A and B are shown apart, each in its own frame.
Chain A
Amino acid sequence: MKSFVVARDLLREAASRRWFLALGLGITLMLVVMGLSLRMDVVDGALAATRLFGKSMNTQIRAADVALRPAFVASSYLIFYGGLLFGVVACADFGPSLLAPGRIEHLLSLPVRRFELVVGTFLGVLALALLGALYGAGGLVLIFGVKTGVFSGRLIVSALLASVTFSAIYGAMLTVAIAARSAALSAASGGALVLLGIVAGERERIAEFFDSGISRTIFRGLTLFLPRVSSLARSAGEIAGSEPVDPAALTSMLLGLVVFGLAALSLGIHLFERKDF
């Protein structure tokens, strides 16, 4: 499928962009600093002492896996929201770049179907999000694992959830980019979706502030189809922190996310198929 060629080219292009070079360097630097400056003493499976830059960080002696949970939860939230914001800003230009004059005519003159270009761009960004999340989360898991002997894949699962959430939002960003050919509008739509998604994640609680009746119904209707960003972030934190997760609720949110992402992408493909360049 030609979409994979487009996705591969997007990854190569991303590797030369300052934003992604900075992200790669930033994650690497953080992992190196953590690796060199964090000291954890484990005795019989319990975390006896933790020192960061030589300064003691905790006094309680707890099982190492239990002691690491707050760190994993904090990392999960950082990866989730940090990743979303970074992705919204750094990936906003991929759509308009695909549609740049002189590039899109050339691509469309090749034996490639139009939808393959859109799907390829989406897959490239999905791969980028997965690679970034896996590198950051995998690095942290490795560092904590080496230092404590506790290797847990939960933070990686949590990071994958963040990637999937971003991909659904990117589907809508790509559609806006196709309609408007603007990186700024694409980024603005992504930022707005993250904020609205935070609201949508708390829709049941926020709905209480509206009078019962038409205004509450309108609010519920408007937030019904939005990705539940804050709820997903919470679930990602719970997964990372080995806390119980409601599988039915998580499955429902993930299904909603997939439907939202696919619907946005389908609309983008529909617009792209009808567009003259």
Chain B
Amino acid sequence: MLAIEARGLRKTYGGGWPRGAGREALAGLDLSVDEGAAFGLIGLNGAGKTTFIKSLLGVVRPSAGVVRVLGKDPEDPTARAQVGYLPERLFLPHAFTPVQFLASVARLKGLPRADDEVRRQIGRVGLSGEEGRRIGGFSKGMRQRLGLAAALLGGPMLLVLDEPTDGVDPLGRAEIRRILAEERARGATLFLNSHLLSETERVCDRIGILSGGRLLREGPIETLCGSETRYRVRLAPPFDSAALAALGFRAGDGEGAFVVDAPDPTALNDLLDQARRTGARLVGLTHDVRDLEDVLAEALGQGREQGHA
């Protein structure tokens, strides 16, 4: 079953007489996310990420197309009861304590007698000992943790997280990653929107690149970032660089690092055998995996070219 399904999703803000055509935030987006997946949506500011997330939650009504969440219309409260959402800038009532705030969210989620669940989630996000403090005195990172606790209340089957580690210190980020891994192990689907590409890479197994309200690329992270036919090779000195270059080994970053293309494992082994015959000794071999940043830049570049064409 699909956790998220969007077909031909369009959203135009404004428009109509006398304002003109309006601004198109989503331009026919098609996306499917399987249940239990960890999906990361990346793109530049104004790409339509937040509009898409709001469409998933029924906060924004699409101008055209279909969006389904856990097989239901996002407007359906029974669908939203299974969704935990952390907005990018969650407004928290300053006068409330974390317990009061989470108890209120629990009541709105329809969770009966949620005291234990509230305290459990407070402990889980590392806010134990702060239960009686007013939220107004919390740091940005603490607010973010509290927002995550609110999203986790009731064990939702879909977690939609907009910049979940924003303002959180490095140790806190690791804790949040651990919690998200636990949620995934429980069977929950993660939908992550983050500008921190390294975080997205660490948490998600599928990535979608959004630009101009369209999905430019989508797939498993290994497929998007990795190359099936390119390898990183590390050789111990001494080695004959000229001879290696003649075999197709290109110098990489660092001492003894090379990049080589081979269409299949047999060809790769042949190349390595030839390199060893020149005196080189193999100490490391991995697929050439690119940075998500590079993939994003490449996808956006291609997107622009297609746009111009």
Contact = CB atoms under 8 A, between A and B. Distances in A.
B81 A277 contact: no
A110 B94 contact: no
A246 interface: no
Most B C-beta atoms less than 10 A away, residue of A12, A103, A105, A112: A105
Nearest to B108: A110
Nearest to B136: A16
B108 A5 contact: yes
A2 B58 CA distance: 18
Interface in A1-40: 2, 5-6, 8-9, 12-13, 15-16
Contact of A101 (B89, B95, B108, B150): B89
Contact of B104 (A9, A109, A277): A9
Contacts of B237: none
B108 A105 contact: no
A194 to B, nearest CB: 29
B96 A12 contact: yes
A104 to B, nearest CB: 8
A36 B150 CA distance: 49
Contacts of B105: 110
B54 interface: yes
B61 interface: yes
B54 A13 contact: no
A109 B57 contact: yes
Contact of A105 (B59, B94, B95): B59
B13 interface: yes
Contacts of A108: 57-59
B107 interface: yes
A9 B100 CA distance: 9
A16 B96 CA distance: 9
A89 interface: no
Given A13-B95, A16-B94, A101-B91, A5 B57 contact: no
Contact of A276 (B13, B77, B150): B13
Contact of A107 (B88, B95, B107, B108): B108
A6 B93 CA distance: 13
A55 interface: no
A113 interface: yes
Contact of A111 (B87, B94, B100, B110): B110
B80 A15 contact: no
Contacts of A112: 77, 108
A109 B89 CA distance: 14
Interface in B66-85: 77-78, 80-81, 83, 85
Given A9-B93, A106-B85, A106-B91, A111 B109 contact: yes
Given A16-B94, A111-B81, A112-B77, A105 B54 contact: yes
Contacts of B95: 12-13, 15-16
B236 interface: no
Contacts of B59: 104-105, 108-109, 276-277
A102 interface: yes
B91 A110 contact: no
Contact of A113 (B77, B87, B90, B94): B77
A199 B260 CA distance: 87
A6 B107 CA distance: 10
Contact of B87 (A12, A16, A102, A276): A102
Contacts of A104: 59
A111 B110 CA distance: 8
A107 B85 CA distance: 10
A2 B80 CA distance: 14
B60 interface: yes
Given A111-B108, A276-B13, A102 B83 contact: no
A113 B89 CA distance: 22
A100 interface: yes
B73 to A, nearest CB: 13
15 contacts: A5-B104, A5-B107, A8-B104, A9-B104, A12-B95, A100-B91, A102-B89, A106-B90, A109-B87, A109-B160, A110-B109, A111-B77, A111-B78, A276-B54, A276-B59
Interface of A: 2, 5-6, 8-9, 12-13, 15-16, 100-113, 274, 276-277
Given A16-B94, A277-B59, 16 more contacts: A12-B93, A13-B95, A13-B96, A16-B95, A100-B91, A103-B90, A105-B85, A106-B90, A106-B91, A108-B59, A109-B59, A109-B80, A110-B80, A111-B78, A111-B110, A276-B54
Top 9 nearest A-B pairs (CB, nearest first) are A16-B95, A103-B91, A102-B91, A111-B77, A109-B85, A111-B81, A102-B89, A109-B57, A5-B107
